[in-house]
């Protein structure tokens, strides 16, 4: 056998051995990764099981707690366990919406606990309805814990997903929870107060309303896909596609307008934009609005306006106006907050401003004060005194004291820069 053939045979054998080793090594690495992944899933499932078990036990105890100290302690534990349970769920191999109801349940447990903690801290009593909600949540926690106990963790991810789907089926009838928190069901079910009871507009009439608002002829707009949901709207766009505008089907109000044209220079100041925006609102018949905060970004100045009722600023009734800083054109309008919240109100404080100010921190120097209506996390409303203060470190601070109870509802830090004034 000549040397070339021997070399060829040796080369082929070496190649086969190398490929074989590489394949085995790759298989072993993949298998190791798979084992680690399965271990992570098992750990997450165990963590979820433990947190849900603790949630059930804590809810059981909470139904019998009768002092503020104990109630606040249990609420804090519920918030911690809810947070850990959500972290565990995020690790599990769930690729669809099958566990959405379970995630919602866990989120609402923590949210409900925070609501109760705030209430107890304000020296308010937990109602019978809220105790009933606790018992209902406890029942679902025990159901979930029982389901999780029956899941075999030593299975493939696809089989684990199937087991979790069975668990999710027990939450298909999870009830609506109404409480004052950002994840309460009533938040998503809210309908605009301004459009309630208003007749539905024909699409042609809505198009005419949109054209008048933009200062265009009706034929310069074309109808696009409508928006459904809690605030149905007719949607239109200009023929060149740069401007979009929405009109509520009930009542025919302009809810949003956006002009997406390029803005390449900033010739105007915030003061210029403020005058232009105020004149625009007045020209559209929108009155009794007070400017609150603004921000400048990408050549546009966005200014927030809140409704003013006599001497009370109603922050939920919000309108945003966007002004282009190259030529002063109105390139944005958003009245969704106003449409959702504006209604007839009778607001009378029980406390005087001097009485409320006693609850402002002595480390703050009060510079001004006025009545303000602010939204709660659950999108209810509370009448407060707004105290504009200065901190010892130079911070500009807003403190909101409940005008009826004296409870400190909210503290905000003003962020002031060349690009605007915002709150944090």
How would you class 75 by CB atoms within 10 Å of its CB: exposed for 0-12, middle for 13-18, buried for 19 or more? buried
Q: Identify the pLDDT of residue 223.
A: 96
Paired tokens of 409: 């509802």
Contacts 24+ apart (CB under 8 A), 33-41: 37/157, 38/154, 38/156, 38/157, 40/91, 41/91, 41/92, 41/93, 41/153, 41/157, 41/160
How sure is the predictor about 190, in pLDDT bands with cuts at 50, 70 and 90? confident
Q: Which domains does the chain have, with CATH numbers?
A: 3-189 (no CATH), 203-341 (no CATH), 353-423 (3.10.450)
Rounded CA separation 15/5 (Å): 15
Convert the pLDDT of each residue in 339-364 to its tens digit: 999 999 999 999 999 999 999 999 99
3-state class of 64 per DSSP? coil
Rounded CA separation 375/73 (Å): 26
Q: Say which residues have a Cβ less than 8 Å from residue 193's Cβ, sequence separation at least 6.
A: 339, 340, 341, 342, 343
Say if residues 270 and 233 touch (Cβ distance below 8 Å).
no
Convert the pLDDT of each residue in 294-305 to its tens digit: 999 999 999 999
- Greatest Cα pair distance, the chain, in angstroms, is 110
Q: Identify the pLDDT of residue 63.
A: 81
Q: Identify the pLDDT of residue 6.
A: 61
Q: Identify the pLDDT of residue 236.
A: 97
Q: Identify the pLDDT of residue 177.
A: 67
Q: Identify the pLDDT of residue 422.
A: 81
Q: Report the candidate in 410, 255, 242, 216 with the shortest Cα–Cα distance to residue 342.
A: 255
Q: How far is CA 240 from CA 209, 236, 244, 372, in A?
A: 19, 12, 10, 43
Q: Write out 172-186 in H/E/C secondary structure.
A: CCCCCCCCCCCCCHH
Q: Identify the pLDDT of residue 186.
A: 52
Convert the pLDDT of each residue in 377-395 to its tens digit: 777 899 999 999 999 888 8
Pick the residue with more confidence: 167 or 126? Answer: 126
Give helix 100-121 / helix 128-149 axis angle, nearest 10°.
Answer: 140
Pick the residue with more confidence: 362 or 5? Answer: 362
Percentage of residues in the chain with pLDDT exceeding 70? 82
Q: 319: which DSSP letter?
A: E
Percentage of residues in the chain with pLDDT exceeding 90? 46
Say if residues 328 and 272 touch (Cβ distance below 8 Å).
yes
How sure is the predictor about 99, in pLDDT bands with cuts at 50, 70 and 90? confident
| Cα three-residue angle 297-298-304, rounded to 5 degrees | 35
pTM: 0.70
Q: 225: which DSSP letter?
A: P
Say if residues 314 and 308 touch (Cβ distance below 8 Å).
yes
Radius of gyration of the chain (CA): 30
Q: What b/e readout covers 96-126, taking b as 16+ CB neighbours within 10 angstroms?
A: eebbebbbebbbbbbbbbbbbbbbbeeeeeb
Q: How far is CA 200 from CA 205, 213, 218, 257, 280, in A?
A: 10, 19, 19, 20, 27
Rounded CA separation 155/261 (Å): 55
Does position 181 have pLDDT exceeding 90, yes or no? no
Pick the residue with more confidence: 251 or 148? Answer: 251
Convert the pLDDT of each residue in 41-70 to its tens digit: 778 888 888 888 888 888 888 888 888 888
Q: Identify the pLDDT of residue 11.
A: 55
Convert the pLDDT of each residue in 73-94 to its tens digit: 888 888 888 888 888 888 887 7
Pick the residue with more confidence: 162 or 233? Answer: 233
């Amino acid at each position: 056998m000549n040397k070339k053939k021997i070399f060829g045979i040796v080369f082929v054998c070496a190649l086969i051995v190398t490929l074989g080793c590489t394949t085995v090594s790759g298989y072993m690495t993949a298998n190791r990764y798979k084992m680690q992944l399965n271990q992570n899933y098992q750990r997450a499932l165990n963590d979820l099981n433990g947190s849900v078990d603790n949630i059930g036990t804590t809810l059981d105890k909470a139904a019998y707690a009768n002092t503020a100290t104990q109630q606040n302690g249990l609420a804090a534990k519920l918030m911690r366990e809810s947070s850990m349970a959500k972290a565990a769920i995020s690790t599990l191999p769930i690729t669809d919406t099958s566990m959405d109801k379970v995630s919602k349940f866990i989120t609402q447990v923590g949210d409900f606990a925070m609501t109760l903690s705030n209430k107890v801290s304000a020296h308010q009593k937990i109602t019978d309805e809220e105790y009933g909600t606790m018992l209902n949540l406890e029942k679902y926690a025990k159901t979930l814990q029982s389901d999780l106990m029956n899941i075999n963790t030593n299975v493939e991810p696809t089989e684990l997903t199937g087991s979790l789907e069975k668990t999710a089926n027990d939450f298909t009838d999870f009830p609506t929870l109404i409480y004052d928190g950002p994840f309460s069901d009533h938040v998503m079910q809210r309908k605009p107060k301004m459009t309630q009871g208003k007749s539905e507009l024909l699409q042609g009439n809505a198009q005419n309303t949109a054209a008048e608002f933009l200062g265009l002829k009706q034929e310069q707009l074309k109808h696009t896909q409508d928006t459904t949901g809690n605030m149905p709207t007719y949607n239109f766009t200009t023929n060149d596609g740069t401007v979009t505008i929405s009109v509520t089907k009930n009542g025919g109000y302009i809810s949003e307008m956006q002009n997406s044209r390029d803005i390449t220079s900033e010739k105007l100041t915030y003061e210029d934009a403020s005058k232009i925006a105020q004149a625009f609102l007045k020209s559209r018949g929108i009155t009794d609005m007070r400017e609150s905060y603004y921000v400048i970004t990408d050549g546009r100045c966005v200014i927030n306006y809140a409704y003013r009722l006599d001497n009370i600023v109603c922050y939920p009734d919000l309108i945003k106006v966007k002004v282009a800083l190259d030529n002063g054109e109105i390139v944005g309008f958003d009245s969704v907050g106003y449409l959702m919240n504006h209604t007839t109100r009778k607001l009378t404080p029980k406390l005087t401003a001097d009485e409320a100010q006693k609850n402002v921190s002595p480390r703050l120097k009060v510079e001004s004060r006025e009545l303000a209506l602010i939204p709660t996390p659950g999108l209810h409303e509370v009448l407060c005194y707004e105290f504009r203060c200065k901190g010892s470190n130079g911070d500009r601070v807003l403190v909101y004291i409940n005008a009826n109870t004296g409870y400190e509802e909210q503290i905000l830090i003003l962020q002031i820069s060349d690009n605007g004034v915002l709150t944090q």
